[in-house]
Chain A
Amino acid sequence: MSKGSASALVEIDDLVIAYDTPAGPIRGLDGARLAIGQGETLAIVGESGSGKTTLGMAAGRLLPPEARAESGRITVDGVDVVGAGNEELRALRRDRLGFIFQNPMSALDPTMRIGRQVARAIGGNPAVETIAALLRRAELDDPDRVVGAFPHELSGGMAQRVVIAMAIARKPKLIVADEPTASLDASIREKVMVTLGKLRGETGASLVILSHDLRLIARHADRVAVMYGGRVVEVGETATVLEQPAHPYTRALIAAAAGNEKPGQRLEPILGTPPVLTARCEACAYEPRCNFAEPVCATTRPEERDVAGRGAVCHFAESVLTRAGSQREAGAR
């Protein structure tokens, strides 16, 4: 890892999580490793099925009942999340974790007034002024009205600000935001992200953003972890990873992202589909879709290495880094 694990708030080590399905277990995480430092903003990117949501939710053991942790460890602020007792875990969630979900409307109870829901997030019997003050910190325009409102009376952006306020109510050490702006109007996404970043700064928490929006990540994340096939395949400073990717999958993601193209240039979709792992992958999971693949990629599982200041899980990370890019990828950035 590029950051020492001494100061790490979250340590994920060789974590394997499998989902039981009628057709047998499917691996959501296949030996994921990641350390999240105190106070940093880390973005986890990847396609659907890459494992980023599994990883994010695993931090609070919020996975569905059919998910099982098969091996490995995940510790949050010293608590072993997989092995913790229910009460220990509940205390962790309540006092040290904050979650922000993709759809704020479904994250709020439709039959309870906002004020009461926020009060429950704060805990105890907070005064209305305390509730309103918290909402004001989340930059809600009219907190006194919002306190008495029901969720359906709010806009999506307002509702997400309420959810953000609830997530920071107890000064968490870690905030996990799963696609926090994906369901919002494009015009307000940036503003909501700025609020989230500001509040992270105020609370000193670490912020993990699960997202596939590279432009958003480039502006708001200190570091980026790219996930593929249930593993973190590249992790490092945002500028380093996004400007000089060392993993072919990162390159492909950047090439496929809208907003990076020059006029007249076409976006390059990533061909093929993400893998469905039924057991530990003994090759490089990305090999079938990779432009750089060599025979060894199909036979040997790559391990994480330090490559030019970031971690990369690729047998040929150096050549990916140095090659200006294949014909297909020319000018992708």
Chain B
Amino acid sequence: MTALAAIRVRLGRLLREDGLSFFGLIMLVLLVLLGLVGPYLPIGDPTRIGAGPRLSPPSWVFPFGTDELGRSYLPRVVEGIRATFLLSVVAVVITAVIGTMLGMLAGYFRGFSDHLVARGADILFAFPAIIVGLLVAAVVGPGQISAIAVISIATIPLFIRVVRSVTLGVSGRGFVTAAEVAGASSGRVMLVHILPNITGAVVVQLTYAMSIGIIIESALSYLGLGVQPPQASLGSLLREGSAYLTIAPWLVLSAGAVLSVAIMSVNLVGDAVRDGLEPLKGRLLT
């Protein structure tokens, strides 16, 4: 109950001080809920071909219109939200686990393992995400697995760099030295003493990785390298719709608008978290 009250106070302050981020949080919650309960909503069957006329514009029956097979587009977009979020979340969780572990190892042990991890991060960082997408698609073939792999490859180096530098700062602090002197094992020091002190940076990085993940997923699926039909993701819907851009613009516009709102809401929530951890203060030169 007190945790709930604390959350309410925080939300209230966010609403007062940063309406934009509050809006982002609400949108993010709505989108996640929509993705979770989407299949059970009475909005129609995303797979039913010929539910309406082909490429019909938005109407009361088909709020986002219909696609080239006469499928209602709203349930398809909802399915796309689900697929896009799921893919990005899985990829970002993989990134968070690997990136945090490697970043902490590099920052805590320094020396050789630091060099190794830092070089490895540099190597991964040198590959632009979509170019990697092409390579991965060539090797393992297009699909969800390759989309997840590409997102992780693109976000792990960012994660490693941030976690490493935060860990460097934390491991110089007194309580870490105290634990070491008391004979705690390296694993224990990292898990019990360092990890709780870098979670802030990890959470901020997590939101950035999530936003990058959604962007990469949509780009890959747009190119046909990610989610494959008949399954829908926001990116693959853009791919399908772009063929009819001039005659049925509502397909690209509705999927594109939802995609943009999804990315923006994640970004805004990330901003709010960062502002909370490390506020920037404005000043004038008078």
Contacts and interface: CB of A to CB of B under 8 A. Distances in A.
- So, do A and B actually touch in the complex, CB under 8 Å? yes
Interface of A: 22, 64-65, 86, 89-90
10 contacts: A22-B13, A64-B281, A64-B283, A65-B281, A65-B282, A65-B283, A65-B284, A86-B286, A89-B286, A90-B286
Nearest to A22: B13
A171 B224 CA distance: 72
Interface string B271-286: 0000000000111101
A89 B285 CA distance: 12
Contacts of A22: 13
Contacts of A90: 286
A43 to B, nearest CB: 29
Kindly state the interface size class of chain B when it binds its partner. Answer: under 10
Interface in B50-97: none
Contacts of B283: 64-65
A22 to B, nearest CB: 8
A196 B81 CA distance: 68
Given A64-B283, A90-B286, 8 more contacts: A22-B13, A64-B281, A65-B281, A65-B282, A65-B283, A65-B284, A86-B286, A89-B286
Nearest to A89: B286
Contacts of A89: 286
Most buried by A among B13, B282, B286: B286
Nearest to A85: B286
Contacts of B286: 86, 89-90
A90 B285 CA distance: 10
A19 to B, nearest CB: 13
Give the one of A22, A64, A65 with max B CB within 10 A: A65
A45 B210 CA distance: 52
Contacts of B13: 22
A86 B284 CA distance: 11
Nearest to A87: B286
Nearest to A65: B283
A89 B282 CA distance: 21
Q: Which 4 residue pairs are nearest across A and B when measured between Cβ atoms?
A: A86-B286, A65-B283, A65-B284, A64-B283
A86 B283 CA distance: 15
B56 to A, nearest CB: 53
B4 to A, nearest CB: 21
B210 to A, nearest CB: 29
A153 to B, nearest CB: 25
Contacts of B282: 65
A309 B286 CA distance: 40
A90 B284 CA distance: 13
A86 B13 CA distance: 33
B272 to A, nearest CB: 16
Contacts of A65: 281-284
Nearest to B286: A86
A58 B282 CA distance: 19
A88 to B, nearest CB: 11
Nearest to A66: B281
A38 to B, nearest CB: 27
A90 B286 CA distance: 8
Interface in B239-286: 281-284, 286
A22 B281 CA distance: 14
Contacts of B281: 64-65
B14 to A, nearest CB: 13
Nearest to B284: A65
A203 B284 CA distance: 31
A39 B199 CA distance: 55
Nearest to B283: A65
A197 to B, nearest CB: 32
A89 B286 CA distance: 8
A296 to B, nearest CB: 41
Nearest to A64: B283
A94 to B, nearest CB: 13
B282 to A, nearest CB: 7
B285 to A, nearest CB: 9
A155 B140 CA distance: 59
A86 B286 CA distance: 6
A90 B13 CA distance: 37
A69 to B, nearest CB: 14
A89 B13 CA distance: 36
B126 to A, nearest CB: 29
A65 B281 CA distance: 9
Contacts of A86: 286
A30 to B, nearest CB: 24
B174 to A, nearest CB: 22
B19 to A, nearest CB: 17
A86 B285 CA distance: 10
A300 to B, nearest CB: 38
B202 to A, nearest CB: 26
Nearest to B17: A22
Contacts of B284: 65
A65 to B, nearest CB: 6
A178 to B, nearest CB: 18
